[in-house]
A and B are shown apart, each in its own frame.
Chain A
Amino acid sequence: MISRENYILWFIDYADNKLSDNEKGVLRAFLVQNGDLQDEFLDFLEASKIKIEADPFILDTASLHKTEMVMPAEQAADIRSLFEYTEGTLGFEETLALESQLAQSPELQKELRLLEAARVRPDNEVFPDKRSLKKSGLRIGFLAGSFKYVSGAAAAAMVFWLGYSLQRSNAPTVVIQSQPGTEWVQKVSSLIEARSEEKALALLEEQWNRLPQDMPVAERIVYVQSAAGPEVRNAVSNASLASLDEKIELPVPELSTQAPSLLVEKPQMQMASVMQNPAAEGTRFSPVKPLENEAPFDLQLANSGRKKPRFIDVLSTIVTLGGVLDKKDTRMVTDKPDKEGKQKVYFYSKAVEAEFAVK
């Protein structure tokens, strides 16, 4: 019996020309009673490349492309029921009727066995390297994913931390010299611009995750830098270790408190802090005091060569300001390009805490 649960099988059998004249009448009556399914029926026929030359509700067999009768209509009905039976979607009454029929029909029993056998069995294979999928929870996101978690400044902090840790452990001293600002910002920007190579990042994380979790972070950074291939090594170097000859003036505790002006490329560049319900942002964010003015800055996207800046272009600069930024936290408005192809980008965001600590 056709119902709103199994009508699609009737559509299929109609398309395959497996319905008897009597069943076509049943389908016609069903569609008249369930007018909301008529469009679906027509769509189905169209998808099945069946031309309807006559009123579809006449269900004229002659109008169908497919004229080959694959099996008798009665048998098709049985198969339909068997399918529902094996799928567990056959109604109670129909189940009783089918089981009664099955008891008397070896042919039907064979069909049932075939249908039950036509199920896919699971393999025994297991994913060979689950460890490579796991994450430590340590944010090394300045190279990963959506740049969401660790900013360039956090990378700077890592460098600072690395030098500090190595000094404390009597390891070879890493001198962090004093030269803040532009060059480092540009390096980070370049890195982020280049880091569309997700495979390099995945490799970095893979290397990272393979290390013992009790290994000091500083040692892990050094290890990853040396163990990874040149692709990753360059990225890491650009981001952090190669910057060791530059001063990073941000003590770790201060990282989260302000958009650090010392990393700003031009004096007039200031991140605007727009505070909106900071409590709703969760503990990861640490909103700072809003700046007095929402000052636009000129991003000068000359190095990107793009007339229309992408978010990533903006982010690659902004991320160096020490904020953990996300699209949902930011607002970017661009002017039309000037004669030189440069655009002014008005960028507003909350300044938020850069997270880099081990959880």
Chain B
Amino acid sequence: MTAKEYNICVDTHADAVFRFILKNIRDQEAAKDIVQDTFEKMWVRHEDISFEKSKSYLFTAAYRTLIDYTRKRKYVMPEEAAPKQSLYHEQQYSDVKEVVDAALNTLPEAQKAVITLRDLEGYSYEDIGEITGLSESQVKVYIYRGRMAIKEYISKLDIVL
């Protein structure tokens, strides 16, 4: 990939990678840092990466950086100190999107990541498996369980659909 192609990647994919990360960690500054790191990694290797596979590379690198980040954050912020994510809470939501985001935030990291890759980017199970290093079956299991949990969350809040 040339420098020019790399810059096209920035224009084309930076927002998507940013949204993917942001959905998973809900921290603007950290998401920005992760995106910066991700693109820096790609730049270092840009001559070895084909332009066609740049998006896949970006999401793979972003996912790994995300995992590193969440692990470090767990270390820094032990579970008891972390904000509780309850299935039942009294927050008022203005629309379904907010509810789904809240539900998403209750999921384990892996489920959250595969669901966002599926829903935001439309990746196939196979693609998600390549990005996350999970088997296709595991991806399907995570998506199924995650989807059911979100559905359960929505129904518990008695939202009229």
Contacts and interface: CB of A to CB of B under 8 A. Distances in A.
A87 B11 contact: no
Contact of B7 (A8, A134, A145, A198): A134
Contacts of A122: 19, 120
Contacts of B22: 123, 125
A113 B161 contact: yes
Given A114-B154, A120-B100, A135-B3, A127 B137 contact: no
24 contacts: A8-B137, A8-B140, A8-B141, A8-B144, A12-B144, A83-B144, A115-B147, A117-B151, A117-B154, A117-B159, A118-B100, A120-B23, A120-B101, A122-B120, A123-B22, A127-B18, A127-B35, A130-B10, A132-B36, A134-B6, A134-B10, A135-B7, A198-B40, A202-B40
A120 B119 contact: yes
A126 interface: yes
B96 interface: yes
Interface string A194-213: 00001000100000000000
A133 B3 contact: no
Interface in B18-51: 18-19, 22-23, 28, 32, 35-36, 39-40, 43-44, 47
A133 B115 contact: no
B4 A137 contact: yes
A130 B36 contact: no
A289 interface: no
B152 to A, nearest CB: 9
Contacts of A117: 96, 100, 151, 154, 159, 161
A79 B147 CA distance: 11
A174 B135 CA distance: 61
Interface string B93-128: 000110011011000000000011001100000000
B interface, over-half SS: helix
Contact of A130 (B11, B137, B155): B11
Contacts of B44: 144-146
B36 A119 contact: no
A111 B18 CA distance: 32
A133 B141 contact: no
B122 to A, nearest CB: 10
Q: 10 nearest interchain CB pairs?
A: A137-B3, A145-B44, A118-B150, A120-B119, A127-B18, A127-B14, A118-B151, A113-B161, A121-B97, A133-B10
B154 A136 contact: no
B15 A127 contact: yes
B71 interface: no
Contacts of A9: 140, 144
A114 B18 contact: no
A128 B103 contact: no
B150 to A, nearest CB: 4
B145 interface: yes
A136 B151 contact: no
A130 B19 contact: no
Contacts of B159: 117
Nearest to A122: B120
Given A40-B137, A117-B161, A118-B154, 14 more contacts: A83-B144, A114-B155, A117-B154, A118-B151, A119-B100, A120-B104, A120-B120, A121-B97, A126-B18, A127-B32, A128-B32, A133-B10, A134-B10, A146-B44
A110 interface: yes
A359 B40 CA distance: 19
Contacts of B104: 120
A284 to B, nearest CB: 8
B61 interface: no
Nearest to A111: B151
Nearest to A43: B137
Interface in A100-124: 110-111, 113-115, 117-123
Given A119-B100, A135-B7, A202 B144 contact: no
B119 A119 contact: yes
Given A8-B141, A87-B143, A359 B100 contact: no
A128 to B, nearest CB: 7
A79 B155 CA distance: 14
